[in-house]
């Protein structure tokens, strides 16, 4: 039997309690693999399309924005989020 627990390290204590309850008095093997953000983003077709389009735009110098200050960037992000 194989069971996968996907969690943040903040949740380890409760996860180990759950594992102990699920597999009492058994030998288990725990494999730790850090999640690759790019792999995660490419896992759905919509995210993959958006990420690849963004990479292409950067390579071609299209749809790029520049900001004078951090405040300008924050304001632009807020306006962008309002349009969603």
Q: Mean per-residue pLDDT for 47-55?
A: 89
Residues 6 and 14 sit within 8 Å (Cβ to Cβ): no
Chain segment 5-49, per-residue pLDDT in tens: 888 888 888 889 999 999 999 998 888 877 777 777 888 899 889
User: Residue 2: is its pLDDT beyond 80?
Assistant: no
Supply the pLDDT for residue 29.
87
Task: Give CB contacts under 8 A, 24+ apart, made by 25-33.
Answer: none
Supply the pLDDT for residue 56.
92
Supply the pLDDT for residue 69.
92
Residues 24 and 43 sit within 8 Å (Cβ to Cβ): no
Per domain, the residue ranges of the chain are 9-83
Supply the pLDDT for residue 8.
82
Residues 41 and 35 sit within 8 Å (Cβ to Cβ): no
Rounded Cα distance, 58 and 51, in Å: 11
Position with higher pLDDT, 4 vs 53: 53
């Amino acid at each position: 039997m194989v069971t996968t627990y996907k969690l943040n390290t903040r949740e380890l204590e409760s996860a180990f309690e759950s594992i102990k309850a699920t597999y009492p008095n058994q030998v288990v093997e725990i494999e730790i693999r850090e999640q690759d953000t790019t792999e995660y983003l490419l896992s759905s077709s919509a995210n993959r399309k958006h990420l690849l389009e963004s990479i292409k735009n950067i390579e071609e110098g299209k749809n790029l924005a520049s900001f004078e200050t951090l405040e300008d960037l924050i304001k632009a992000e807020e306006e962008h989020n309002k349009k969603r």
